[in-house]
């Protein structure tokens, strides 16, 4: 689905780039960092809409560039002639920057913003020649702006760290779309807005609880009888929530998914199935994932302390800063029935899981 920028006036020409930094490989094995679903929307969709950006080129690591070309009708790893001739200044945006920060909107030509903790580039406003130099790893003479907060994805679980703030931005964008009167098809509790696309199918017995945040049901989604959705929450295009499914706050389901049982604070990239009973909490799930019946994630220690996790194979466990964190399940992961996944698990691309984790 193409989401249109919400900013009025002329769009700002920009280039999204994936610098390949951070240890976030499960998220970006099969996509660029800016195409990771980090809320209801991908980072690319969110920043483009919230900041009124006009992407003229995308830069990504060579191994995922062909996949990026399949997903976008924009030049990848090259500048089109129109970008160099028609624009005196381009905004370079790091694809690991999840939120529409003020610095992205306010940065002036000749400036570059860096994250203090990592020293990594967040964004820069430069001429096309300097843009090419920056993306080639060179350092043109620019005025540096230091951002003291940590704003870039650095570990797989950072999608959960930024989730709530990202979802709040996304729902503000998505609520502007066409809607039917939700009270005509479901029971509603709460005062936050509920948007149900006219093409969505809502069967009898559905409950929307918008007491704590908005709810958006996107195009051609289907809610089966007895579904309960608690906002803030998002159900993406052509996705289905099975009978008596419970969608708890801060859950974001991407396109063409089948989900059931209980989901809480989960982000599903798209094209994945969790249609049976089970619990998926405070987790990120990639594409083409299938969770067997009764798959359960733990998202809280019985000591209520901070969860630790290892970002990649062979790395030591480290503090996540999160009390609630389930797991990261990369693309094409499959679990058997009754699989139990302990909090902090990072499961890599293509894993077939048929036993209980330790």
| 107 and 198 assigned to the same domain | no
Query: Does any domain span residue 293?
Result: yes
Query: Does any domain span residue 148?
Result: yes
Query: Does any domain span residue 5?
Result: no
Please state, in angstroms and rounded to a whole number, the distance separating the CA atoms of residues 342 and 309: 10
Query: Does any domain span residue 3?
Result: no
| 172 and 235 assigned to the same domain | yes
Q: Of 122, 154, 186, which residue sits at a domain end?
A: 154
| 196 and 251 assigned to the same domain | yes
Q: pLDDT, tens digit, for every residue of 214-266? A: 999 999 999 999 999 999 999 999 999 999 999 999 999 999 999 999 999 99
pLDDT for res 358: 45
| 46 and 130 assigned to the same domain | yes
pLDDT for res 317: 96
Kindly report the pTM of this predicted structure: 0.95
Q: What is the dihedral of CA 251, 257, 260, 262, to 10 degrees?
A: -20
Least confident range from 1-10, 22-31, 48-57, 153-162: namely 1-10
Query: Does any domain span residue 229?
Result: yes
DSSP 280-296: EES-EEEES-EEPTT-E
Query: Does any domain span residue 1?
Result: no
Distances (CA, A) of 117 to 147, 156, 220: 9, 17, 43
Question: For residue 130, what is the domain's CATH number?
Answer: 3.90.550
Please state, in angstroms and rounded to a whole number, the distance separating the CA atoms of residues 158 and 24: 9
Cβ-contact 271, 255 below 8 angstroms: yes
- The count of structural domains within the chain is 2
Please state, in angstroms and rounded to a whole number, the distance separating the CA atoms of residues 308 and 212: 29
Place of tokens 């030509």: 109
3-state helix, strand, coil in the chain (%, to 5): 15, 30, 55
Q: Can you give the residue range of the structural domain that contains 137?
A: 12-154
| 184 and 250 assigned to the same domain | yes
Please state, in angstroms and rounded to a whole number, the distance separating the CA atoms of residues 142 and 108: 11
| 147 and 178 assigned to the same domain | no
Give residue 298's pLDDT band: very low, low, confident or very high (50, 70, 90).
Answer: very high
Least confident range from 1-10, 191-200, 290-299, 301-310: namely 1-10
Partners of 54 in beta bridges: 13
Q: What is the number of other CB atoms lying within 10 angstroms of the CB of residue 318?
A: 14
Please state, in angstroms and rounded to a whole number, the distance separating the CA atoms of residues 213 and 191: 8
Q: What is the number of other CB atoms lying within 10 angstroms of the CB of residue 269?
A: 29
Place of tokens 């920009």: 14
Cβ-contact 216, 202 below 8 angstroms: no
| 222 and 339 assigned to the same domain | yes
């Amino acid at each position: 689905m193409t989401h249109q920028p919400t900013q009025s006036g002329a769009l700002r020409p920009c280039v999204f780039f994936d610098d390949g930094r951070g240890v976030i490989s499960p998220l970006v094995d099969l996509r660029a960092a800016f195409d990771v679903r980090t809320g209801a929307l991908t980072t690319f969709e969110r920043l483009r809409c919230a900041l009124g950006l006009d992407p003229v080129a995308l830069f990504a690591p060579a191994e995922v560039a062909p996949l990026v070309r399949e997903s976008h009708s924009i030049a990848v790893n090259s500048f089109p002639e129109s970008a160099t001739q028609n624009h005196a200044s381009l905004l370079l945006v790091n694809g690991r920057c999840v939120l529409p920060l003020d610095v992205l909107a306010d940065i002036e030509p000749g400036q570059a913003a860096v994250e203090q903790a990592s020293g990594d580039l967040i964004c820069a406003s430069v001429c096309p020649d300097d843009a090419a130099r920056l993306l080639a790893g060179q350092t043109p003479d620019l005025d540096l702006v230091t951002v003291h907060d940590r704003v870039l994805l650095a570990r797989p679980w950072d999608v959960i760290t930024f989730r709530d703030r990202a979802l709040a931005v996304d729902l503000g964008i998505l609520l502007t779309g066409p809607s039917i009167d939700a009270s005509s098809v479901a029971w509603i509790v709460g005062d936050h807005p509920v948007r149900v696309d006219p093409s969505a199918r809502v069967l009898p017995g559905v409950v929307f609880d918008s007491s704590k945040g908005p709810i958006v049901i996107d195009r051609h989604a289907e809610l089966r009888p007895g579904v309960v959705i608690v906002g803030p929450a998002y159900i993406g295009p052509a996705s289905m929530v099975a009978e008596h499914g419970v969608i708890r706050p801060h859950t974001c389901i991407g396109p063409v998914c089948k989900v059931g049982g209980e989901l809480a604070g989960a982000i599903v990239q798209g094209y994945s199935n969790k249609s049976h009973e089970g619990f998926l909490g405070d987790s990120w799930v990639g594409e083409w994932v299938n969770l067997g019946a009764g798959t359960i994630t733990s998202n809280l220690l019985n000591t209520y302390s901070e969860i630790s996790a290892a970002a990649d194979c062979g790395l030591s466990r480290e503090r996540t800063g999160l009390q609630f964190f389930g797991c990261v399940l990369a693309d094409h992961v499959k679990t058997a029935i009754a699989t139990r996944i302990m909090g902090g698990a990072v499961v890599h691309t293509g894993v077939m899981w048929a036993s209980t984790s330790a």
